[in-house]
Amino acid sequence: MNKTTKKSAKFAQENAKPYSEIGVYNQRVKEYLRNNNLDTITQYTVKLFKDNAQRNRVNNAQYNKAVEEFNNRHGFILLKKGVEYEGGSKQYSYVNFPYLDREAIKLTMDKYRLYVNKYNKQADEENVLIRNYNHTEVTNHLALTETQKKRKKDFEAENKCLFVRDYNKLIEKENAKNAILPKRRIQKIKFQSELIFHVLLGFYVSQLRTRNAYLMEMNKPTSALKNALPKLKIDHRKLATHKIADIPRLDICKKTAQNHVKRLREANILTNYVQINQNKPIQVNFNSQILVILDGNLPKSQTLENKAFSPSFSKTLHHNSDTTRTKLKEKEIKDCANSTALNKCGSMLEGNESNSVCLADGYENTKGINKKNTPGRAEIKKIIPNFLQSTNEKPRGKYVLLTQNFLSKLTDERELAERLTNGDFDSHKSLRYDYLQQVAMYAHVSREDFKKVIIQDFIKTSAKIWKSHNVYVGEWKKNINALQEQLFSKIIEKETLIKKLREYRWKLEFARKWFSKKREVKALFPYAYFDKTRTNSNEIGFYGLHKVWKTNKKYKQRKEAEKKQLEVNASARKRNLTAQKKLTNAINKYELGKYNYSQLFSYVQDNLPHEYLLSLPNLINKNSINQA
C-alpha cells in the first residue's frame, strides 16, 4: 500500500458517517432487494401501499410504522423515510413556517417526561450532597450568636428569589470564612407541572397560529430562526383560570401558576425569560431539546394571492387552463381566495376550534355574512320607515317583521297622554322579557328607539296605580316628558336596560299592592310621585322604594342560599343512607361466608368513606355478639 492509498483510506475512515437506526433498516431492505426479484403482484401491492399513504397524508413516523408491518408480512421490500446517516441530513438554521400538530405535541410531551425524569434523578443526587454539607460543614442554628442569626435571616430574605442552585453557589462564597448558612434543597418537578406544561404548549400552538395568520395576511415571511423561535407569552391569571368548554382545566390560583412556571424555568424547561412589568405577560422560549417544532415549508416564490399553503406531502393535481367562466365570475373567485388567506396557516390543532383565527369578513363571496353588502343599523333605521310606508309589498324576513312589530309600539306623546287619561292601560300587560331579549339580539332597532319603547311601556304599566283616580291629560304629558329625561339616563347597553326594567317593574307592582291595601292613602299625581327628590319612604314616592327593593333582593339571595344548603344536606343524607346500606350488605356477605375478612376490608376501603373503615371491626364484633 503506497502513501497515497494510505492517505485515501485514512480520509475515508475519518469521514465515514455512521448509519442511523433508519439507515441500518434500509440497508437490510436494499440487501433483500438485490437478492430477490419482485413479481407483478408484489409490485402492484407496493404501489397501492404508497398511494394509500400519500392519500392519507401520514407523517414519517406513521409511515415507518406501517412499513414495518408491511415488511413483516411480505419481506424487506419497502424503505423507511428519514435520515439514514447520523448528522447526514442537510441542516437549515431557520424554519419557514413554524407550527405544531397533534403528533408534534405528543412527541414534545414524551421528551418532556424523559427530561423531567432525568432532572428529578439528578436532583435526588444533589440533595444527598446538600444534606451532607448542611450536617457536616454548617454550624447548627442553636449554636449561633444573635449577630450571626440576624445576618443569616437578612441573607435569606435578601436572596430568597434566587433559583436554588444560584443560591447555593452564593452560600459557598459566604461560608468561605464562617459556615453559618445552610444550603437549600433542590425541589423536583411535580406531576401537576406536566398539566401546566401541556396547557402552555396549547397556548403556544394558538399563538403560533395567530402569528402565522397575521404575517400571511400582511404578505410577510413567516420564517424564524431555529435558535430564535417566537416566544411564548404567559399571563399567569389566564393560565390559572384557563377553561375548556366552560370547565376549568387547572383550577389553581395565580400564585400557584407563578410557582409552577418558576419551577419550569429553574429546570431549564422554559428559557430566555423576559419580564416587561407586572401588567404585561412574561415571555419565554421552550427548551430546544424538548420542543418538537414542525416546518410547513411555505412557498417563498409566490405570494399568498397566487398560491395557497399546502403541506410538503400533498398531492399535486393537474391544472386545466381552459375555462368557461366569465371574467366577472373569475374576479369574484379571486376576491374570495384573497380573503381566506388567514385560514391557510395550519398551525392549530383541529379539535381546538376556539383558538382559530378568521376575519369577520373573511368570505366576501358568501351572501349570508358579506359585510360590504350588508347595511349597518344606521342605514337600516333609514330604510325601515320608507319600507313600512310601502303598500305594494309585504315585509320579508322575520327580523324585519320583528323590527316592524317593535317600532309600531311607539306612540305619539300627546296621544299616549290622552289614552292614559281615558284609562286604556288600566289593565295593561307589560312586554315580556323574552320578547325584549329577542328584540335586543336580532331586531334592527337603535338604542334610542329601544329605550323610548320600554319607557312608554313602563308608563303604561304605572297607570294601574291611578286606576281609581282622575289624572288629567296635562299631568300625564308632564310626567311623560320628565320620565323620558330621567329614566335610564346613564344606561347605554340594551341588556342593562332590560335588567334595570325588572327592578322598576317590581317597584311599581309593590306600590300598586301597597296602595290597594292602604285605601285611606291616596297616591300623589304622577309627576309628583316620580319626583327624584322624594327618596325617603315616608314621602310616598317611587324613588323612596329603593330600600325596599334592596331588602327584597337580600331576602331572595338568602332564600336561594338556604335552598342550595338544603339540597347539599339532602344529597349528603342520601349518600350516607346509600353507604350504610352498602356496609350492611357487605357485612351480611361476610357473615354468610361470601366474603373473607380481606375481601370485606378491600370492599369497604374502595367503595365507602374512610370513617366506615375505622368502625368496621366494632360493627363485626357487635353483630357476632348479637347473633350469639
Same domain, 401 and 468: yes
Q: Which residue has the higher pLDDT, 91 or 548?
A: 548
Residue 392: Cβ-neighbour burial (10 angstroms; 0-12, 13-18, 19+):
exposed
What's the confidence (pLDDT) of residue 235?
Answer: 87
Tell whether 66 is covered by a domain: yes
- The secondary element (H helix, E strand) that includes residue 201 is helix 192-217
Last residue of a domain, one of 45, 64, 91: 91
Please report which confidence band the pLDDT of residue 8 belongs to, taking 50, 70 and 90 as the band edges. Answer: low
Same structural domain, 494 and 577: no
CA distance 54 to 48: 10
Record the cell numbers describing residue 74, joined without a space. Answer: 411480505
Residue 396 confidence (pLDDT) above 70: no
In a domain, 71, yes or no: yes
pLDDT-derived band at 369, boundaries 50, 70, 90: very low
Q: How far apart are CA 525 and CA 478, in angstroms?
A: 11
Instruction: Domain of residue 78: give its range.
Output: 18-91
Give the per-residue pLDDT at 71.
87
∠ CA 554-558-563, rounded to 5°:
150
Q: What is the pLDDT of residues 572-585, one digit of tens each?
A: 999 999 988 988 89
Grid cell at residue 569: 344536606
Cell of 575: 349518600
| 615 in the same domain as 524 | no
Average pLDDT, the chain: 77
Same domain, 458 and 577: no
Count CB-CB contacts under 10 A for residue 523. Answer: 19
- The predicted model gives 269-297 an average pLDDT of 86
Has residue 48 been placed in a domain?
yes
Q: Report yes or no on 578 lying in a domain.
A: yes
Q: Is 285 helix (H, G, I), strand (E, B) or coil?
A: strand
pLDDT per position as a tens digit, 591-601: 888 888 667 87
Out of 87-101, 291-305, 383-397, pick the least confident: 383-397
The DSSP line for 49-109 is HHHHHHHHT--HHHHHHHHHHHHHHH-S-SPPPS--BTT-SPP-SEESSEE--HHHHHHHH
List all residues 6 or more positions away from 395 whose beta carbon is below 8 Å from its beta carbon.
Answer: 387, 388, 401, 404
For residue 75, pLDDT beyond 70: yes
Distance CA 619, CA 600 (A): 12
**269 pLDDT more than 90:** yes
Please give the Cα distance from 514 to 130 (Å, whole number). 79
Contact assessment for residue 226 and residue 91, using Cβ atoms and an 8 Å cutoff: no
The most confident of the ranges 118-122, 397-401, 550-554 is 118-122
pLDDT for residue 562: 92
Among the ranges given (53-67, 167-181, 465-479, 592-606), the one the predictor scored with the smallest mean pLDDT: 592-606
Residues whose CB falls within 8 Å of the CB of residue 386, separated by 6 or more in sequence, listed in order: none
Are 542 and 529 a contacting pair, CB within 8 Å? yes
Q: Is the dihedral of CA 457, 462, 464, 468 positive or negative?
A: negative
- Residue 266: pLDDT over 80: yes
| Rounded-to-integer distance, Cα 510 and Cα 516, Å | 10
Q: Is 218 helix (H, G, I), strand (E, B) or coil?
A: coil
Does 522 share its domain with 587?
Answer: no
403 plus 507 within the same structural domain = yes
Let me know whether 506 and 417 are in one domain: yes
Considering the domain architecture, whether residues 568 and 612 belong to the same structural domain is answered as: yes
Domain boundary, last residue among 91, 108, 131: 91
* Residue 152 counted as domain residue: no
Would you state the pLDDT for residue 591? 84
Please tell me whether residues 620 and 482 are part of one structural domain: no
My answer on whether 414 and 489 are in the same domain is yes
Residue 620 has φ and ψ, to the nearest 5°, of -65, -45
H/E stretch holding 255 reads helix 254-266
Q: Which of 59, 91, 123 is the last residue of a domain?
A: 91
How confident is the model over 206-218, as a mean pLDDT? 78
Three-state SS across 287-328? CCCCCCCEECCCCCCCCCCCCCCCCCCCCCCCCCCCCCCCHH
**Mean pLDDT, rounded, for 552-578:** 90
Q: Is residue 614, in this structure, part of any structural domain at all?
A: yes
Residue 54 lies in a domain: yes
Q: How many angstroms separate the CA atoms of 293 and 225, rounded?
A: 11
Residue 396 lies in a domain: yes
Same domain? For 394 and 438 the reply is yes
Cα separation, 352 vs 205, whole angstroms: 10
Are residues 566 and 518 located together in one domain of the fold? no
What is residue 96's three-state secondary structure? coil
Total structural domains within the chain: 3
Output the 3-class SS for 124-192: HHHHHHHHHHHHHCCCCHHHCCHHHHHHHHHHHHHCCCCCHHHHHHHHHHHCCCCCCCCCCCCCCCCCH
Provide the β-strand partners of residue 274.
Answer: 283
Q: What cell does 112 get?
A: 418532556
pLDDT at 598: 65
Phi, psi of 224 (to 5 degrees): -150, 145
* DSSP 8-state secondary structure symbol assigned to residue 91: P
- 180 pLDDT exceeds 50? yes
Selected residue with higher pLDDT from 220 and 532:
532
